[in-house]
Every structure is written in C-alpha cells, then in structure tokens.
Structure 1
Amino acid sequence: MNKEAAEESTLQEQVEDHASTIQQKYGTFGGVFVPTLLTILGVILFLRQGWVIGNAGLLGGWLIITLAFVIVTFTALSMSCITTNIRIKAGGAYSIISQSLGLEVGGSVGVPLYLAQTFAITMYIFGFREGWLYIFPGHYAIIVDIVVFGILFIVAYLSARLAFRIQYIILAVIIGALISVGASVFTGAMEHSIQWWGAFPGAPGDNFQGVSFWVVFAVLFPAATGIMAGANMSGELKNPKRSIPLGTLSAIAISYLVYMSTGYWMARVAPVDELVSNYNVMIDYALWAPAVLGGLLGATFSSALASIVGAPRILQALGDHKIFPGGDVFSELAENGEPRNAIILTGGLVLASLLVRDLNTIAPLITMFFLITYMMINLVVFIEQRMDMISFRPTFRIPKFVPLLGTVGCLFTMFIINSTFGLIALGFVIITYLYLTNRKLEVPYGDMRSGLFVSLAEWAAKRISSLPENNERAWKANLLVPVRSSRELRGNFSLIRNLVYPKGSVKLVGMSGQNDDSELRDSLMDFAISFQRENIYAQWSVIDSTNFEDAVLNSLQTLQGTFFKPNILFLRLPAHKHYDEEILSIMRQARLNNMGIQLYVEDTIAQLGRSASVNVWIHEQSPEWDLSMELGNVDLAMLTAYKLKVNWNARMRIITVVEEPEVEKAYQYLNNLLDVARLPDVIPHVEIGNFETVMRNAPQADVDLLGLPEEPDLDKLRSYVEETQSACVFVADSGNENILA
C-alpha cells in the first residue's frame, strides 16, 4: 500500500471512529443485558417448557435445558473472547466474523443472519397474537398482527433508546409474572410427586405417538438462541469490549436459573398428563394468571422489539461494506444515528411475511441460520487460538476446548433439529460465499486470513520435511524466470503462463545494475499481478547486480532453501551470441543444483503460431526398445508438452527417428509409452532417416520440444528453429520428474 492509500485508510478509520462515537449511547444493562435476557425468556418458557418437563421428566428436562445452555454459553464465551481482541464495529456477529475471516465469510453468514433476525420478528408477532387471542378470542388475527407490527415499526423507526425504555417496562412485567409463579408455592400448589425421567409420550397434535429425547431438545433449544440480541447493538455501545461479555453472560446465567427453577415448579404443580397436553400450565397454576399472561405478551413483544432494532443494524453494516449491490442506501444513518433506510426495508420484509400467515414451514431454517452464526463465532476463536499468533491477545481468555466444543455442539444441534434444513442452510451460506468471492470486495480492515494461510503453509512445510524429498507424483512446474527487461518478459508471458497453469508457480527475478530500478520493479509487480489474475501463484524480486550470471546463480542457490522452491529454470536464448557463454555457465549450475531447464528459442516470424499443435522429439531406443521407469532425458519434455496440449487444447505428437528396420519396434515402443503414461490421445509418429534431415519434413507444429544436451551447441539449437519452422523449447530433466508416475 502506498503512502496516499495508507493516509486515506487512516482518515477513513478516523471518520468511522468519530461516527461510531456519536452513535455509542448504551451501557451494559440497557444495551446488552436486558434485550438478551428478554429474548431468552420468551414464549417457550411460558408455553412449551411444561411440555418438555412432562415428556422428559425433571432430570431429563434439566438435562435438556443444561445441554442447550452449555452450547450457547460456549458460544457466548467465544464471542466474549473475540470481542475483547478486536475493535468491534456495527453488525455484531457479522462484524466479528468479517474482521477475522474476511468480508466474504462474514457476508455469507451475515446475510442469512439478517434474514433470520427479520423473519424471527414475524414469528414473535405470531406468538404475541396467540397470547392475545387467548384473552380476546373474538379479535381478528390479521388485525392483531398488523397493529403489533405497526407499534414495533414506529418504535424502532423513532429511536432504539425508546425501544430500550419500553423493554424496561416489559422486564418489570416479566419479573411480575415470575413472582406470580413463585408465589404459588405458598398456596400449596406444589403437591405432585416428581417424575424424574419421563416416558416421552409426545404431543396432543400427534395423538401422543411418542417422541425421542432429541425431538424434545429441538423444541426447547430455540429458547436459547437469543444471545445475539445485545451483540447486534455493538456499533452503539459505549464500551462493547466490556458490555458484550458481561451483559450476555450474566443474562444467560440468570435465564438458566429461571428455566431450571420453573422446570422444578412445573414438575410439582401439575401431573404429567396435564403437562404434556396443556400448554397453559404456567398460566393456570400461577398465583395470579393475568400476570403470567402479561409476561407471555411482554416476552414475545420484547423479543420482536429486540429483533426489529437489531436486524437493521446488521443490514446497515452489510450495506456499509457493499456486500450486495445498492447496499450504500442502507448504510446511511439519520441525524439521530438510526439506520432508517435499513429499518424501512426490514419492516417491508416483515409485513410481507405477515401476509403469508404461516411461517412454520421455514421456522427450523431460521434456527439453522442462528446456529451457523454461533458455529462460525466458535470456529473463529478456535482458529485464532490454534494459530498462536501474537495479535491474538484477548483480555477475556477462555480454555481451548470451549470453542471446539461450541463448534461441534452447534453443528450437532443443527442436524438433530432438522438435518434437511441444516443442509439447506449450509448450502445457502456456501452459495452466498461463492457469490461474494466473485464480487472482489474491498476489505476496509485487516483480518486473520493471511495468518491462517501462513499457519497452514508452515504446518504443511513441517509435514513435507518429514516425507521423502523427491515425490514424483506431486511434481508441479515451478519456474524460476530471470528477467533482463520487461519487454523480454512480455514476449514470453503467454508461454510461461501455459507452462505452469493451473497449479504451478512463477518466480520472477529481475536483474538490475542501474541506480534507478523502479521501472523494472513496477513492471515485475504488474506481471506478477497479471499471473495472479490467471490464478497462477507468482512472486517477484529484483537483484541489484551488474553481473547477470552471478545474480542468477545466487538466486538458484538461495531459493533452494525455500519451501516453494523452483524446480525449473526458464531461459530465453536470444538470436545474437552476446550472452552464450553466460547462458551455458548458468545451465551448468542449474544442473548442479538439480533443476530442470527449459531453454526457449523464439521463432521471430511465426511466434507461437496458432498454439494448436505440439511435437515432442525423443531419441530412438534401439536395439532393446525396453520401456522402463527411467526414460532418460524425456520426462520433463513430455510433461511440458502435455501441459501445453491441455492448456492450448492442442494436438500433441511424440516423434522418434529410426532406421527402416526399426519402424515397427519404434511404433510398439511409443504406443506402450503412451499407454503407461496414460496419454491415449497423443499421436505416435516415426520418421525414417537422419535426424537433421527429417526435421525439415516432419509434421508441422507451433512448438517443438527437444532434449537439451549436456554441452549444447547454441548455434545449432538456433538452427533448429529454421529447420522446424517453429519455436523450440530445449528441455533437460532434473531427475525428479517422471511421466510414468
């Protein structure tokens, strides 16, 4: 990054920090604890926990509650850990994942998370409606839904501060409901003996045909998926590094105690038959039923309110990073810091989904998106811990098993609840990731991807060092290309690209003896970028030396100790003889360093022609014509020719020259060679006579590949271009290639 770009990036960060400082208004209690607590203490607590206890028994129910809360607690611990290691911005989980694994991964999780939060609003409104119709059965359901949505939308549109003030009132209502439940112990209501382990009879909707432990777990688990309610406000917290860990974990702890204690209360106040058939046990057995009804309405309303406030914040963060086209519109903030454009779109989606009238079909998908988000947060921390990078210095540290178990737990829960929807959700995330990868997003901050890949490379390097050095089956073309001038490289670019694509690499080494080598550096960088655009791994460097030969030899020796070391030296033989001695000396040193050689002699007239045909010339093998694993100086030539054949979609011939009595044996040998080398679509060709004479009459090709002698006559090699009327590449094996492997 140049100086101007760095200054622009710094200025942008300062502007963002200033804007976020204006927005940050909320503390731990109001910004994180209350919305998280109210979202967890939702409709399942009031309407479904009795059914869970009735099916599983008290111990089974406690086990289910504990298992659900352990999974979300591990996620909350991971979220707390990573939050204290980064400067978290708007978007909550999206910001955490993006700053760790990049915008593509963050966006692929952030988009479904936003949709899940949005459609969850609709589900909460439906839950509120059910409680309302319990009190007022004569009211029209659609009217109730629209009125509740209108209130939620107006509150969210006006101000998040107003929403939080309303949540304080709802918190008081829910506390009153729980007091009404607890006070019933003084009326003698807890008279039934405890069923410690249930028979899992099922539900009245399926005529009590029986259910499994995991089906009951799947019913209760969504109650614990409200832990992101506070984190969604990350961009508007006074101190997110403190508020998110403290507020989230304390809300989870209190919620867990509430679920465990109300589970015990339910097991004592009602018989098992009533627990599994009557969803209104808490209302019927509380000291004052209206308080519990108020708690039920308050719980669903507060969950919807937290989501309609949090979801637009995720959309605003997605738009700010241009995750989707036209996202700039939703990144805009009103004068009071509210993302009103994002609120309007969210409201529109909720209103449209309300008109569908039934989201039960996709309800499990909403839970899957939450679980994928939790899994990714755990995975981020697990990766960061395993990398042991110095940048990972969270002030809230957790044991290494926590994110691992959190990741496994979330993945396990996804497929326990609904394996089909689990696969659909994962597929949606993968498709979104592929789409975002093709969008070439501009990353506004650093992430840990480079560190992750470096760690993987280091691990691979250590593993490879314990394996045999010469692995013929893993061979790839890794070219070292000495460069005198950018013009020379420009003429060779296409050929070099096709010699290494797709899995090979190119190391460009510029030789500059000038004081100002900036032009060469810029050219090499541009060429390296061009190779990378072709999906070829490329590096470049410039050696300040007036002696081309010494510079190349130093490069050869130095790069032998690197992990991605070159295995082929690519040289271009000019038409003039000025560099002949230099080139001969360099090739000798390359052989001593066990490197293959590709010496390219250009056809100045035809260039590479149509890039439609390739000839490989091999020595005749008389008298034995024995095919063995040691073919002599043939392997690299054939591998090179095959590369060109595939990348050019070209015709490939393998040619040998023999005396007339050997023709049949020669064809048999070539066919056997092509069969063992697994090259069935290559044409064997045998010429009769003298090699130099035959070259003029052989089938025409755009490139001819020939063996490079130990001590070549470079003038003679140049003459072959005229003889064949094509470009020639003279090839010498390193001994590590094998076309038969």
Structure 2
Amino acid sequence: MKFPYKQDVQSDASPNSSKSTEAKSSGLGTFGGVYTPSILTILGVIMYLRFGWVVGNVGLVGTFIIVTLATSITLLTALSVCAIATDRVVRVGGAYYMISRCLGIEVGGAVGISLYFAQALSIALYTIGFAESIVQTFGQLNQTYVALFVTISVAVLALTSAQIAVKAQYLIMGAIVLSLICLFFGPSIPNITPQGWNIPTPTNGQSFWAVFAVFFPAVTGIMSGVSMSGDLRDPSRSIPTGTLAAVGTGYLVYMGLPLIIAMRADTATLLSEPLVMKMMSLWQPAILLGVWGATLSSALGSILAAPRVLQALARDGIFPPWMSFLGRGSGENDEPRIGTWVTLSVAIAAVCIGDLNLIAPVLTMFFLTTYLVLNLSASIEGFLQSPSFRPSFKVHWVLSLLGGIGCLWVMLLINPVATMVAGAIVLAIYFWIQQRELTTTWGDVRRGIWMALLREGIYQIDRVEDTKNWRPNVLVFSGSPSKRWSLIQLANALTHQRGLITVSSVLPSGSRDLAQQTHLENTISENLKKQQVQALVRVVTASDPFEGMLQLVEAYGLGAVVPNTILLGDSEDTNRRDNYCNMIAQLHYANRSVIILRENPQRGFGNYRRIDVWWGGMKANGSLMLLLAYLLHSTIEWRDAQIYLKLVVPNEAGAKDAKANLNAMLAQLRISAVPSVIVADERPFEDILHESSQSADVIFLGMATPNEHNFTEYYEQMHARTANLPTTIYVMAAADFAFGEVLSEGSS
C-alpha cells in the first residue's frame, strides 16, 4: 500500500483508507476492542499496591472523595471523547486522529508524537515492574532478562494478531476478577482493630492532595481503547459505549475496595504493607496473579496502541518522507507490523537502560496532555457550534472545558516540573511541524475560531477611527507584485505586521472569469507567504484600470475595517496622467490618505541609512509623513537609519528659533530625528531639495490637496521637480483625520 508522503496530507476519504474500511466488517467489537483494554489499564498496579496506602492516609471518607473527584475528571474526558467519536468516523490513530482533525495537524502531530513515545516507553515501565515482582517472588531470576522476555512476548502477541492479543487480555481479566473475588471473600487481618470509618492521624501521613496525586493515574487508561479505533468494526458506537462502561466499572470497583480494606485492616498496616490486599485475600497467590495481570495487560495495551498511533502519524505525512514506510499496514486487517517492530525496539532499548524513574513523570504528563487537548477539542467544537459538528452523543462545551481545566490542575498537582518539561517538548514538536508547512485536505476548528473572533471584533469596532489606535490599513495597487515589489516592501514596512495589507491588481475586462481570478489570488497569496509577507489579495477586472481602482476602494472592506491608506506607484505615462490625477483626487475626496512611491530604479531604497522628511508643520501632511518615517525606522531593515526633519526658512533671522522649536517638538513627541533648518536665501525650493537630499535613501514630500485648479498640472510640475532624486514618497493625508493627535497622544 502506498501513501502520499508529501507536503499535502491525504484526505480522510482517500483510497488509502479503503483497505482498512473493508476490514471493519471483521474488526473488533465494543467489549474486546474498547472495554477490555480500557478496564484492564484502569484496574492496574496502583489498585493493588497503593490503595491500602491511600485509605491509610486519608481514611474511608477521604478515599471516597478522592475516587469520585479523580473519576469525575476522567469521566468528563470520556464524554469529550464520545462527542468527537460520534461526530465523525475515527480511523487509525485514536486520540491523535481526533485531535488532528479538530485542532489541526500541527497540534495533533505534537500531541501524537508525544503520546506515541509515552505509550512505547510505558511498555518498558510495565514489563520492568512485572519483572521486579517476579524476582521478589523467585529470587534466582535476573530482572533485566525477565523484562526483556516479557517485552518480546507481548510484542509477538501483538505481531501475531490484534484479535489474538485481545483474547489474551481476556485471560488477564480473568486473573484480575479472580483476585477481586478472593479479596471480597477473604478474612480480616488477625489481631488488629480495623480502621473503619475513622479518619487516621498518622504522624508521617501525607496530605489529601498529595495522596490524590498518587492515586489519580489509577483512573486513567481510557486511551488504550480509543487507540484501537482503526481495528474496530464501528468506532462511532464502540468508543463511547466501551469507554463509558470502563469508567463506570472502574468507579464501582474503586468505591467498593476501600470499604473492604478499611473494615479488615488498621491504619498502621495499611501504611506499612504495599501488598496489604494479599494479607486479607481468601487465596493469597490470587493477588499476585492480579498484580502480574495488571502489569501485563497495561504492557499489552501499550504495544497494541503505540504502533497504531505511529502508523497514523506516518500516513498523515508528519514524519519526513524517508520514514513513510512506518505507515504501511499488513494483512487483511491493515495491522501496523512495521510500527510494532519499531515500537519493540524502543521498548527493548528502554528495558536495557533499566531505570526509567526520571522520565516516568514526564510520560504521565504526556498522557494527561492528550486528555487535556481532547477536552479542549470537544469544548471548542461545541462552543463554535459549527454546522459540521453534529455529534449524536451531545456534551455541553462547558463540561469539556471543565475536564480540560481538571487535567491541567492535576498535572500541576502531580509534578509541576514534569508538566513544564512535557509542555516544552510538545511545543518544540509543534514548532517543528509548523516549519514544515504541511497542508491538509481536511478542515479543522482554527478557521472557525478566527471567524468567531473576527465576527465579534467587526461588530465591536466603531466606524470612526480614533487617534489612539490608528495604524495604516494599506490597499496596494501593485499590479503584478513581482514587477513592482518595492510597493509591497514599503507597505510591509509601514504596517510593521500591525496594520493590514491588501495587494490588489486591476485586470482588463474579460481577461479572467471569477474562477480564474480566485486562482490568481491564491497564487499571489502563496508567493507572498514565501516572501514572508502577510497580506490579503484582491484581483478585479474593469474596462478602465483607474475606474477599477476607484470601484475597489469604494466596495472593498468588511464593516468598519476598510483601507485608510492607498499606496500607488508613480505614473510615468503622460498620456494617462489626467485619469491618474483624477483618481488621486477622488481618493482624497473619499477621505483616504494617498501615498505615491516614485522609485529611483538605479538606487531603490539605497543603503537603508537616511530618511529625509520635508517638514511643513504638524497640520496636513506633516504629521502623517513623520508618522510614516517613524514606522519605517521601526523595521529591522531601517532601524539603523537616521531621520532628518528638514525645514526651509527664508532667512537667518528665523533659523535659530525654528531649530529650537523642532527640537522641543521632537522631544515632546519622543521621536528620534535630527532637525535640519535650511536658509533659502531666495533660492528656489527645487534647488534646495536636490542639493540637500541627494544623499538620502528615501525622501518624504507632502502633496497639495486637489482643488479647483488643475491638479494634473500641479502633479506634472511636482514630477519634474523631483526628477533624478533618490526614491521619493509623495504623501497626501486624509483631510478629516487628526494625524497630529496620533503623534501627540500621551505626550502632554
């Protein structure tokens, strides 16, 4: 079977899933596929080795509270799993599949990789624990060899067939049931006073929350059944039924055991004897069988679950292409035998290391992180109420959110350091996957989240801009971006990833239909992303390009969010100068600021070292030009540049006062610029401009506003006066906005 391990990740409905879909008719049922692995993981070694210790520390009532509180968090997580599982077909990968299809491939991959290694290394934890108990009973054996033998044995079972492995779990379940029956009918410990309902007061007892942290992992384990999703006949039915049944069964057992223990043992014995259950069992070896069965069942559940997560990760292209073989399935049931061999290698390496106590807390955090993210997935889906989210098992989003909060609280309670380490690892994997820029053919909730935030934001924004929050929202008429890239560069620098940029092109009428326009927009958008420019793209058609620009300015935007700044290239075509200038006038009358870039083709933006602003006062264009120069200087490319604020005075008499005024203004505005006062001495401004700014990298010049006089004639004169200068930016500020207040905001 071949899978597309490229940047594009396959659809859930792709042909690659047909084989596993056909296998569903002979797949596992609810009892064998979900309930059995889940309940066996829940009824684990903590029940046998720590339950007496829990009762001894907090008493019978305290134990009931701990069991109920811990199970409530697991139940909320199970409800979230049920909601997601009944909304869509859950294929191979279990929790990873659910998370990736909800929160996106980056989040799903980060949690999925962590979950895989947690499950793979857990095999070693369980088999080492099993070996320890065997060696304590049969002292002549070697612990490492026993652990290796058991690890390989459970892997052989998993490699043979998932169904055979599940049948083996029935034997283990039988051993656990036998141990519980023997405990139920067993005697009290002789010569003691049972604890009963009394609350113990041991001198070295643990606090309630410390005991809770030790006990909580005993109620986890529902992922063992969820991870078998690819092997189930009907995942949407089996996962909810089997998971909830396992949680309910575990709760009943955990509420009954403390009652038996407290009525048959005293506090001192409960605190000092880890295998206190053995002392009160009708047949004591049954408890050992239960302990061994619990560890073996957990190891078997992990060796079944981990390769299926690995298979799903590989099929979705999370790993590099050379690792694509991990996604292959074998046999009629599409079993991940290659993934099982890899997982066995990881487990054997961990067994050989032997001491996994350092990483065990982090592995627990990985499992709880999976629970946390599953709860968040269901909570977000329920909150957004997307039409596509229609689970047959409905859960209010608040319950899922409470489950997520509970998981995070327990993580911090159990081990804050391990929580931070696990979180850092998950974040590192997330950023690694994000850098690979994987694309998927399925949707996730991220777009829904942004749409919800956008909707709320649009309705909250007032139509009248305020000076406190002004920033340039630029509409760039660039034509083909590759041919006029300097316009994109300038817009990107001025917005500084705070304002909005829309790159627009006006094409001749009939040159593109709507579908072709959309395709062109997507192509331009992808090219901009490759250049690390965040921008929207809009392509329209019109019989006249200038009319098309005006129509776009008039219609473009969403609610109060409309372009407030129009960025154009200079017009060199004298035959179309009238239409060009008329468009500028119309943009001004529409209360838009207009910026025109006249680029020096030989120099471009020069060395990014010097910005000249020709100052005419705070009113009109002056404030906007100084703002734009400040924004330009704030970027990485221009941060070493020096802003020169240039002012022309007629004679020496006013030069000193003018310079003092400029210094005082700049200090008040908190803008770093060098005031430069130039005495005209009857020289024309054109000569002063060319003499003073010839060495600049970019020049800001204000434009007169259109009036009853001929604006085309004015523009042509300005065009002639600035010929052969470095790159020049003409600025015409919107008439009805106080840019001076943007500069002076907070300076008084």
1:327 alignment partner AA = M
**Pairing 1:511–2:506 present:** yes
Distance 1:158 1:189, change over 3 A: farther
Written as runs of structure 1 = structure 2, the 5 A alignment for 1:68-147 is 68-147=70-149
Distance 1:483 1:119, change over 3 A: closer
Q: Which residue of 2 aligns with 1:284?
A: 279
Q: Structure 1: how far apart are the matches of 2:293 and 2:619?
A: 82
Match of 1:413 among 383, 403, 410: 410
**Pairing 1:740–2:744 present:** yes
1:20 alignment partner AA = S
Q: Which residue of 1 aligns with 2:4?
A: none
Q: Which residue of 2 aligns with 1:55?
A: 57
Q: Structure 2: how far apart are the matches of 1:190 and 1:401?
A: 48
TM-score, reference length from structure 1 = 0.91
Q: Which residue of 2 aligns with 1:437?
A: 434
Q: Structure 1: how far apart are the matches of 2:506 and 2:599?
A: 21
Where does structure 1 lack aligned partners over 5 or more consecutive residues?
Answer: 1-7, 202-207, 622-629
Match of 1:666 among 658, 666, 669: 658
Match of 2:630 among 635, 642, 647: 642
Q: Which residue of 1 aligns with 2:467?
A: 472
1:721 and 1:728 in contact (8 A); partners too: no
Match of 2:162 among 152, 160, 183: 160
Match of 1:334 among 330, 336, 350: 330
The Cα shift of 1:497 comes to: 3.5
1:503 and 1:536 in contact (8 A); partners too: no
1:739 alignment partner AA = L
2:41 and 2:301 in contact (8 A); partners too: yes
Written as runs of structure 1 = structure 2, the 5 A alignment for 1:501-540 is 501-517=496-512, 524-540=521-537
The Cα shift of 1:590 comes to: 2.2
Q: Structure 2: how far apart are the matches of 1:311 and 1:444?
A: 25
Larger CA deviation: 361-370 vs 128-137: 128-137
Q: Which residue of 1 aligns with 2:689?
A: 695
Distance 1:178 1:121, change over 3 A: same
1:616 and 1:655 in contact (8 A); partners too: yes
TM-score, reference length from structure 2 = 0.90
Larger CA deviation: 593-602 vs 275-284: 593-602
SS in 2 for 1:95: helix
Distance 1:677 1:329, change over 3 A: farther
2:128 and 2:144 in contact (8 A); partners too: no
The Cα shift of 1:637 comes to: 1.3
2:478 and 2:487 in contact (8 A); partners too: no
Q: Which residue of 1 aligns with 2:172?
A: 170
Give % identity.
Answer: 32
Q: Structure 1: how far apart are the matches of 2:497 and 2:541?
A: 31
Q: Structure 2: how far apart are the matches of 1:127 and 1:49?
A: 17
Where does structure 2 lack aligned partners over 5 or more consecutive residues?
Answer: 1-7
**Pairing 1:721–2:722 present:** yes
Written as runs of structure 1 = structure 2, the 5 A alignment for 1:305-454 is 305-325=300-320, 326-336=322-332, 337-454=334-451
Distance 1:697 1:185, change over 3 A: same
Please give the per-residue CA displacement for 1:647-670, whole angstroms capped at 9, x wherever unaligned.
332332221111322222222222
Distance 1:359 1:490, change over 3 A: closer
Please give the per-residue CA displacement for 1:351-406, whole angstroms capped at 9, x wherever unaligned.
11112222222221111111111010111111111112111111100123211110
Q: Structure 2: how far apart are the matches of 1:140 and 1:542?
A: 74
Q: Which residue of 1 aligns with 2:292?
A: 297
Q: Which residue of 1 aligns with 2:615?
A: 618
Q: Structure 2: how far apart are the matches of 1:287 and 1:521?
A: 76
Q: Which residue of 2 aligns with 1:588?
A: 585
Q: Structure 1: how far apart are the matches of 2:195 and 2:522?
A: 79
Distance 1:561 1:375, change over 3 A: closer
SS in 1 for 2:581: helix
SS in 1 for 2:387: coil
SS in 2 for 1:90: coil
2:551 alignment partner AA = N
Distance 1:247 1:691, change over 3 A: same
SS in 2 for 1:346: helix
Please give the per-residue CA displacement for 1:153-192, whole angstroms capped at 9, x wherever unaligned.
2112222122101001111111111111112269999973
The Cα shift of 1:113 comes to: 1.0
Q: Which residue of 2 aligns with 1:226?
A: 221
1:482 alignment partner AA = F
**What is the number of equivalent residue pairs in this alignment?**
715
Please give the per-residue CA displacement for 1:67-94, whole angstroms capped at 9, x wherever unaligned.
1110011001001101111232211111
1:635 alignment partner AA = S
Distance 1:496 1:187, change over 3 A: closer
SS in 1 for 2:317: coil
Q: Which residue of 2 aligns with 1:213?
A: 208
Larger CA deviation: 357-366 vs 235-244: 357-366
Q: Structure 2: how far apart are the matches of 1:484 and 1:173?
A: 75
Q: Structure 2: how far apart are the matches of 1:346 and 1:590?
A: 65
Q: Structure 1: how far apart are the matches of 2:441 and 2:520?
A: 27
